[in-house]
Structure 1
Amino acid sequence: MINIVYRLKSPKFFEEAIDEVDLDGVVVRPTHLSICQADQRYYQGSRPSEVLDEKLPMALIHEAIGEVVFDSKGNFKSGDKVVMIPNTPLCDDIYAPNYSYNSKFRGSGFDGFTSDLINLPRDRVVKIPDNFNLNVSAFIELISVAYQGITKFKQIAITPKDKLGVWGDGNLGFITALLLKELFPESKIIVFGKHQENLNLFSFADEIYRIHDADGVTIDHAFECVGSSASQTAIDQIIDLINPQGTINLFGVSEYPVPINTRLVLEKGLTIQGNSRSDREDFIGVVETLKQNPLLFEYLEKLITNVCEINSLNDLKESFDRDYISKFGKTILKWNI
């Protein structure tokens, strides 16, 4: 089946390419996509030049949902709404698929979801109910990243979970805090951030603090969702405020090495856990969580800053430009190409 893929050839320049889709799996037509910071780093050309030379041209976007066009085994019906899993693992009996060196990830090394059609293995597709908010569903992948980190946290945390602190008032901080409130209803969720206008959106949190006003606050476990160079300040503050034997769950991505106060880490017996990406069980967990509490959609919808109709490559370029100047929130692409 003939297909058109819309690839980033060089920073800020998209091109069309003719491809072919096999009919040996599940063929999905993307309908709603979501831009993330990793996509923007490629689009803006802010990754190192050797990385850009290695990976471009490449179709962007790893957060997306779509409708099934064809399933060679008939498990999915034509028109079924599904979330697409960007992580494509190869055989690995030791490491989780989202950490295995053998896994490939769409929009980072091979083509993402900016295409007319996508062919996926059957286990890379999860059905979503027809009544789900489709704009929010477009970034289920991002929600699943927070979900997998919280799942790992449950496995390693050995001290009380009375006070859970989230550092970061951006998209991932919002999602992580919201999921913690849903999954740990007896815990106090405390959010730390820099921007009061963003913090005001965390209405579900028990307490919010600007980072310079947090003296005397203590927490049992921490979730760092800051990233970039600011993650050093966040991690320093976490180490100061966290109780002994707490866990520090890192989500933020930095392009540069981040110094850590190892003396206090050792004195307090802290556990530091890295979190990246997710896999099928996390997507299923998110879909089930949203089914059980559809009110979560009302909170998650607050993250949507832009909804862009994509009918041409110029529309795609303009959507990335609009997203870049947005200080907060998600840009959703209604994929009409």
Structure 2
Amino acid sequence: MINHVFQLVAPKQISVKFQSISLSERHVVVRPTYLSICAADQRYFNGFRSKESLKKKLPMALIHEACGQVVSDPTGRYQKADKVLLVPLEPSVEDDTITANYLSSSRFRASGYDGFMQEYVAMDPNCLVPYTSIEDDVAAMSEIMSVAVHSIKTFMRASHSRRESCVVFGDGNLGYIVTLFLKALIPGIKVYVVGVDSQKLEFFSFADDVFLADSIPADLRVDHAFECVGGRGSEDAIDSMIDMVRPEATMMLMGVSEENVPIRTRMVLEKGLMLMGRSRSTKDDFITVRDLLEADISMQSKMKKIIREVHEVRSVADMNDAFNEDLGAPFKTVMKWMV
């Protein structure tokens, strides 16, 4: 089978590579149907990564957030046209201590390895999660939801048992999703959100309260905190979190920054804080996302609110338009993959 792989060969330059897919008895052939653009994809597309990183990882097909339909499955686990969430993590070994998403031996699509911007993808059947009652544009965002779930599960294992309240810093996609899943996975927890855009904060109707970063009540104290800012804003967010949390809080760091971020270690030590980083997930987290969304239609409705546009893609020009229009947009762009 001849496949069309749409690779980024240089910033803002997508080229079509023709590649043969061997119909292995161990792989399921999937046709991607909806793809969601992530900030990581934009850093590659616009050349915001270092020259060394771009030289090392390009050419490469972008996108690690997607859903699709089964075309053929010689393993017999799936039927033709079954809808599946696509898990970008491909483990190669098992480790009793370290989870697969942090093993250097694991491969991650769209990070040095072709992502889902392809006509067809040969997938390990263990990297697929079937779904039936999730809207496809929402299903396309399953990976970022799974990262939120993974972080919250890690937080619940690592933090002390007092989880009456927490603060989420960040009014973008990740902050929105983390807040939504905190409320779903930890019943009764009070979640406060801090951001810099009052219009975006209006979307957080399910949070207990929202504050602009320069208007946080001086006496607000919380048990734990999640940082979902990234970039240059991480420094101020982490600094404010250190002040807001009570002693022995757990602070989950999830925002990606290309620059070093100073942290007041003196206060981290004085308050006995635990800082943990999470940015990737496992198949189990996708299953949790699938189960939550299929059980609660209101969660799907809330996720649809952050889809800025569903962009129909039939050509490389359409791909470029989708990326260019998404850059700087407040929320998510989903591509309806029609190549």
TM-score normalised according to structure 1 size: 0.98
Q: Give the stretch that moved more between structures: 53-62 or 156-165.
A: 156-165
Indicate whether 1:100 and 2:103 are aligned: yes
The one-letter amino acid of 1:106's match is R
Structure 1: distance between partners of 2:22 and 2:14:
24
- Partner secondary structure for residue 209 of structure 1: strand
Match of 1:261 in 2: 264
Q: Is the 8 A contact 1:7 1:14 kept in 2?
A: yes
Match of 2:22 in 1: 22
Structure 1 residue 20: deviation in Å?
A: 1.3
* 1:80-91 alignment, distance < 5 Å: 80-91=82-93
Structure 1 residue 325: deviation in Å?
A: 3.7
Indicate whether 1:303 and 2:306 are aligned: yes
Q: Give the stretch that moved more between structures: 12-21 or 87-96.
A: 87-96
Structure 1: distance between partners of 2:86 and 2:40:
18
Structure 1: distance between partners of 2:23 and 2:291:
29
Match of 2:139 in 1: 137
The one-letter amino acid of 1:210's match is L
Q: Is the 8 A contact 1:7 1:17 kept in 2?
A: yes
* 1:234-313 alignment, distance < 5 Å: 234-313=237-316
TM-superposition CA deviations, 1:203-225 (whole Å, max 9, x none): 00111111111121111000000
- Over the matched positions of the two proteins, sequence identity in percent amounts to 42
Structure 1 residue 92: deviation in Å?
A: 3.6
Q: 1:320 aligns with which of 320, 323, 329?
A: 323
Structure 2: distance between partners of 1:51 and 1:246:
35
Structure 1 residue 276: deviation in Å?
A: 1.6
Structure 2: distance between partners of 1:276 and 1:304:
21
TM-superposition CA deviations, 1:89-131 (whole Å, max 9, x none): 11142421111111111001010001110001110000011x3
Q: 1:188 aligns with which of 190, 212, 226?
A: 190
Structure 2: distance between partners of 1:298 and 1:121:
31
Structure 1: distance between partners of 2:121 and 2:159:
39
Q: 1:331 aligns with which of 323, 333, 338?
A: 333
- Partner secondary structure for residue 255 of structure 2: coil
Match of 1:4 in 2: 4
Structure 1 residue 22: deviation in Å?
A: 2.2
Structure 1 residue 258: deviation in Å?
A: 0.8
The one-letter amino acid of 1:18's match is F
Structure 1: distance between partners of 2:60 and 2:41:
11
Structure 2: distance between partners of 1:304 and 1:280:
24
Match of 2:202 in 1: 200
Structure 1: distance between partners of 2:29 and 2:243:
50
- Partner secondary structure for residue 315 of structure 1: helix
Q: Is the 8 A contact 1:171 1:303 kept in 2?
A: yes
Q: Is the 8 A contact 1:99 1:276 kept in 2?
A: no
The one-letter amino acid of 2:165's match is K
TM-score normalised according to structure 2 size: 0.97
* 1:27-42 alignment, distance < 5 Å: 27-42=29-44
- Partner secondary structure for residue 297 of structure 2: coil
- Partner secondary structure for residue 212 of structure 1: coil
Structure 1 residue 164: deviation in Å?
A: 1.3
Structure 2: distance between partners of 1:171 and 1:325:
12
Q: Is the 8 A contact 1:159 1:245 kept in 2?
A: no
Q: 1:166 aligns with which of 165, 168, 172?
A: 168
The one-letter amino acid of 2:306's match is L
* 1:58-69 alignment, distance < 5 Å: 58-69=60-71
Q: Count the aligned residue pairs.
A: 335
Structure 1: distance between partners of 2:300 and 2:3:
33
- Partner secondary structure for residue 198 of structure 1: helix
Structure 1 residue 185: deviation in Å?
A: 2.2
Structure 1 residue 159: deviation in Å?
A: 4.2
Structure 1: distance between partners of 2:255 and 2:198:
20
The one-letter amino acid of 1:302's match is K
The one-letter amino acid of 1:239's match is I
- Partner secondary structure for residue 334 of structure 2: strand
- Partner secondary structure for residue 110 of structure 1: coil
- Partner secondary structure for residue 147 of structure 1: helix
Match of 2:72 in 1: 70
The one-letter amino acid of 2:134's match is F
What are the ranges of 5 or more consecutive residues in structure 1 without an aligned counterpart?
none
Structure 1 residue 51: deviation in Å?
A: 1.1
Deviant stretches of 4+, over 3 Å: none
